[in-house]
């Protein structure tokens, strides 16, 4: 999954301090070199090449159906040459978990990522984003309403820092040590990007990179029909009042963390409407943008001022955004994309080395940098129509293809990894297997969306076809996905079920964050697939004695697997025990049980953040109508190769060992995976 699956908890809440990092970087006057290309260690005659294309969420069942129909000729050819297998995914099949499995060549016990959301047991399940965490700075110099950090002696203040929480050794470290170049574009589960000890690894971070507001992606809409400011999950809507066809809009920027009480920076936009031309001019400092109704702007640089005390000059921090004029008249509506980190002058580190992203921007110009670029929240919140979402998501793919051209132009040898998000985030919104009735869309509407997903698969087939033709037998080409996809028509309220079965109290509880009675709670759900015991000695208010743990786990596992929907369908395929499926030193935050849902089911939106609903089972009426956070056995990914795959059932953890062996390296003992090129 590449997107915020919880629906409510913003990146601002889970990663407080990202804007502070931006401010610290800006205040420190950081600058970046623009160089990008450098040659690999071995000469061209000795070059070994491995190219990995990550197509997030590509489903093997749909791929096989389309191959059989002659719609995916490149993938079918690879299959016929022995280069296709379903690829076992992670437990659970969530993107941060799955991509970390790929990175380590081992499961969650090695990297410590078990869900999008983890909890702090010592704080009685305070939630936070699992893959990265922003920690506050230490030490300030107070000046009036401001607080400044002075890192030089004798002050030695420590600035805020965003920390990568993935543990273990990424497989590219072994390439780096062996003198083999590796370059990764938009890699998930690697923000902030891990360092290269020997300077032979480059990476542009992907999933996990925030926007400039420190969120997963916060759009801003300015419209005449908005009565008052509306904050909604993923965005905000602001009212507009025109006077003689001109209006002022206030764009919210990153927080000014130089203040004792941080507050957002702002940027004023002057809007001028021409009803007759059905167009408008958006005026920002230093630039005017003319848009007709239905037209998008290119990426535009924005500059926000962070006020400083009188003895220090005000500091500027930049970002980039796109503007979309939805309607000029009679109801003016302007959409502004989430404000991305400017790749030409990044306020925070999003690549390794830091100047790598500057070099890319020198070649390509401005391009999006946020980890989640398709604005699914605008679609879910009905800011976008389906066609508008498809257009916006299509521009993301266009940007990604430009980036791929750049990547290939700058690739000589070694390992190249390139990631596509389109098949995941667009599938979340548009996928629907027509064998079932859609909860909210007509059969024709559901079919339209699914046809679009088919066309995306065909586009990926064409991209891979060009790549295979370009390199022939001079490179090993691997195409992989982290998981498959399926309908998400029904929600299961895990905490509601626990309350109903007497494991969570009191009877009227609505949220484990607010009104739960921990003295009457033996188990609770948090995240998409996690179930935790309220274990004494581990949770702050734990009541389950360690001696009762085994019996309670067996009981919960048995009862959950017996849950049936009103029509008799089994809701949960398998409940996994963490102590049986995870091994390694990084299991401290693991849930006790991992709930693996059948296709068609997933945890309710409320469950993800510890909420409870009136019913245990409900239709999913969100625009987010497909998912993969279910039973790992039902949702494998895909693996295609232009070399025969010998292993019968490869898995994500086998990717790293197989790549290393292509370069003649041995498989490290810490890796659980095997080389799938041998039996």
Which tops the pLDDT comparison, 329 or 45?
329
For the chain, domain boundaries:
494-615
pLDDT at 340 over 60: yes
CA-nearest of 622, 612, 591 to 493 is: 612
Residue 158 confidence (pLDDT) above 90:
no
In this prediction, residue 11 carries a pLDDT of 35
Q: Taking residues 483-503, what's their average pLDDT? A: 98
Which pLDDT value is given to residue 133? Answer: 86
Mean pLDDT of 178-183: 97
Q: How many CA atoms within 13 Å lie on the side-chain side of 499?
A: 25
pLDDT category at 156 given cuts 50, 70, 90 is confident
The angle at the Cα of 116, spanning 608 to 497, to the nearest 5 degrees, equals 25
pLDDT at 38: 40
Q: Which two tokens stand for residue 301?
A: 């640089």
Q: Is the pLDDT of residue 21 over 90?
A: no
The residues with which 594 forms a beta bridge, in sequence order, are 530, 576
DSSP 8-state symbol, 111 = H
The reported pLDDT for the residue numbered 47 is 55
For 196-200, 214-218, 292-296, 553-557, which range has the lowest pLDDT when averaged over its residues? 214-218
Beta-bridge partners for 611: 511
Instruction: Return the pLDDT at 353.
Output: 98
Mapping DSSP to helix (H, G, I), strand (E, B) and coil, where does residue 335 land? strand
Q: What is the pLDDT of residue 408?
A: 98
CA 295/CA 249 separation, integer angstroms:
19
CA R_g for the chain? 25
CA 153 to CA 258: how far, in whole Å?
20
Per-residue DSSP letters for 16-53?
Answer: TTHHHHHHHHHHTT-----------SS-GGG--EEEEE
Mean of pLDDT over the chain: 92
- Lowest mean pLDDT segment, chosen from 79-83, 98-102, 208-212, 313-317: 313-317
Is-contact 582 111, C-beta < 8 A? no
> How far, in Å, are 132, 243, 495, 543, 547 from residue 124 at the CA level?
20, 52, 16, 12, 21
Indicate if the pLDDT at residue 33 is higher than 60. Answer: no
Gap between the Cα atoms of 676 and 660, Å rounded: 11
Tens of pLDDT, residues 296-334: 999 999 999 988 887 788 889 999 999 999 999 999 999
| In the predicted structure, residue 23 carries a pLDDT above the cut 90 | no
Note the pLDDT of residue 308.
84
| CA pair distance 55, 423, nearest whole angstrom | 7
- Reported as a single tens digit per residue, the pLDDT across 402-432 is 999 999 999 999 999 999 999 999 999 999 9
User: Over 90: is that where the pLDDT of 612 sits?
Assistant: yes
d(Cα 302, Cα 258) in Å, to the nearest integer? 20
Instruction: Show the DSSP H helices in 335-492 as ranges.
Output: 356-364, 376-380, 386-409, 422-430, 443-471
Q: Are strands 617-619 and 182-187 parallel, antiparallel or unpaired?
A: unpaired
DSSP codes of every residue in 174-211: HHHHTT--EEEEEETT-SSPPP-SSS-EEEEE-TT---
pLDDT band of 573, cuts 50, 70, 90: very high
Higher pLDDT, 611 or 26: 611
**Which tokens go with 69?**
């129909």
- Cβ contact 413:44 at 8 Å: yes
Between 152 and 432, where is the model more confident?
A: 432
In this predicted structure, the answer to whether residue 45 has a pLDDT above a threshold of 50 is: no
Please say if the pLDDT value at position 466 is more than 90: yes
Per-residue confidence (pLDDT) for residue 136, from 0 to 100? 85
* pLDDT score for 633: 97
Q: What is the pLDDT of residue 36?
A: 41
What pLDDT is attached to residue 301? 97
- Nearest in space to 636 (alpha carbons), one of 595, 676, 596, 590: 596
CB neighbour class for 232 (10 Å; exposed up to 12, middle 13-18, buried from 19):
middle
pLDDT at 236: 97
pLDDT in tens, 501-527: 999 999 999 999 999 999 999 999 999
Is residue 201's pLDDT more than 90?
A: yes
344-364: b (≥16 Cβ within 10 Å) or e: bbbbbbbbbbbbbbbbbbebe
What's the full length of the chain, in residues? 679
Q: How far is CA 597 from CA 44, 166, 260, 476, in A?
A: 49, 25, 46, 35
Tokens representing residue 466 in the block: 């060009």
Q: What whole-number distance in Å separates Cα of residue 465 and Cα of residue 461?
A: 6
pLDDT confidence bin for 286, thresholds 50/70/90: confident
User: Are 626 and 432 in contact, with CB atoms under 8 Å apart?
Assistant: yes
Q: Which residue, 251, 230, 220, 226, is CA-closest to 239? A: 226
Supply the DSSP string of 254-269, one letter for each residue.
EEETTBSS-EEEEEEE
Q: What is the DSSP letter of 668?
A: P
Alpha carbon distance 595, 577 (integer Å): 9
Distance CA 252, CA 266 (A): 5
């Amino acid at each position: 999954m590449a997107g915020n699956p919880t629906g409510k908890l913003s990146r601002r809440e889970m990663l407080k301090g990202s804007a502070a990092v931006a401010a610290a970087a800006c205040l420190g006057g950081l600058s970046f070199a623009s160089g990008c290309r450098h040659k690999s260690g071995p000469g061209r005659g000795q070059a070994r090449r491995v190219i990995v294309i990550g197509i997030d969420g590509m489903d093997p069942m749909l791929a096989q159906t389309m191959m059989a129909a002659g719609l995916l000729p490149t993938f079918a050819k690879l299959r016929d040459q022995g280069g296709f297998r379903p690829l076992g995914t992670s437990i659970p099949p969530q993107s941060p978990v799955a991509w970390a499995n790929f990175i380590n060549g081992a499961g969650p016990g090695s990297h410590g990522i078990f869900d999008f959301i983890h909890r702090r047991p010592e704080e009685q399940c305070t939630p936070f984003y699992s893959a990265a965490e922003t920690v506050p700075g230490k030490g300030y110099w107070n000046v009036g309403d401001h607080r400044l950090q002075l890192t030089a002696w004798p002050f030695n203040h420590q600035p805020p820092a965003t920390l990568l929480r993935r543990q273990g050794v990424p497989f590219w470290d072994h390439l780096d040590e062996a003198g083999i170049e590796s370059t990764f574009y938009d890699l998930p589960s690697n923000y902030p990007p891990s360092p290269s000890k020997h300077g032979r690894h480059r990476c542009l971070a992907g999933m996990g990179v925030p926007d400039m507001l420190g969120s997963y992606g916060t759009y801003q809409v300015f419209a005449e029909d908005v009565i008052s400011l509306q904050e909604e999950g993923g965005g905000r809507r602001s009212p507009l009042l025109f006077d003689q066809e001109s209006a002022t809009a206030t764009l919210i920027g990153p927080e000014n963390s130089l203040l004792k009480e941080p507050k957002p920076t702002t940027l004023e936009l002057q809007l001028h409407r021409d009803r007759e031309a059905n167009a408008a001019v958006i005026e920002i400092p230093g630039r005017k943008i003319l848009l007709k109704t239905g037209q998008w702007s290119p990426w535009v640089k924005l500059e926000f001022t962070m006020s400083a005390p009188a003895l220090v000059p005000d500091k500027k921090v930049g970002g980039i955004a796109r503007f979309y004029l939805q309607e000029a008249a009679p109801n003016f509506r302007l959409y502004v994309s989430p404000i991305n980190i400017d790749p030409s002058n990044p306020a925070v580190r999003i690549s390794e080395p830091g100047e790598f992203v500057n070099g890319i921007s020198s070649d390509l110009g401005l391009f999006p940098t946020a980890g989640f670029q398709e604005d699914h929240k605008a679609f879910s919140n009905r800011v976008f129509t389906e066609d508008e979402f498809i257009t916006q998501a299509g521009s993301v793919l266009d940007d990604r293809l430009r980036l791929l051209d750049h990547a290939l132009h700058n690739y000589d040898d070694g390992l190249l990894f390139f990631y596509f998000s389109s098949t995941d985030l667009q599938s979340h919104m548009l996928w629907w297997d027509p064998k079932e009735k859609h909860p909210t869309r007509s059969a024709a509407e559901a079919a339209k969306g699914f046809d679009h997903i088919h066309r995306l698969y065909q586009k990926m087939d064409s991209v891979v076809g060009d790549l295979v033709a370009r390199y022939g037998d001079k490179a090993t080409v691997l195409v992989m996905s982290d998981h498959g996809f399926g309908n998400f028509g029904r929600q299961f309220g895990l905490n509601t079920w626990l309350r109903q079965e007497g494991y969570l109290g009191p009877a009227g509880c609505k949220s484990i964050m607010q009104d739960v009675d921990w003295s009457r709670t033996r188990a609770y759900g948090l995240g998409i697939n996690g179930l935790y015991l309220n274990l004494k000695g581990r949770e702050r208010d734990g009541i389950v004695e360690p001696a009762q743990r085994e019996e309670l786990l067996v009981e919960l596992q048995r009862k959950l697997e017996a849950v049936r929907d009103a029509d008799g369908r089994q809701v949960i395929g398998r409940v996994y025990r963490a102590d049986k499926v995870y091994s390694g030193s990084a299991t401290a935050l693991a849930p006790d049980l991992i709930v693996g849902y059948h296709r068609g089911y997933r945890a309710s939106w409320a469950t993800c953040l510890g909420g409870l609903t009136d019913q245990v089972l409900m239709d999913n009426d969100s625009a987010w109508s497909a998912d993969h956070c279910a039973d790992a056995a039902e949702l494998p990914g895909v693996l295609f190769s232009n070399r025969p795959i010998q292993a019968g059932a490869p898995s994500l953890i086998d990717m790293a060992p197989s790549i290393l062996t292509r370069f003649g390296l041995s498989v490290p003992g810490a890796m659980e995976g095997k080389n799938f090129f041998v039996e």
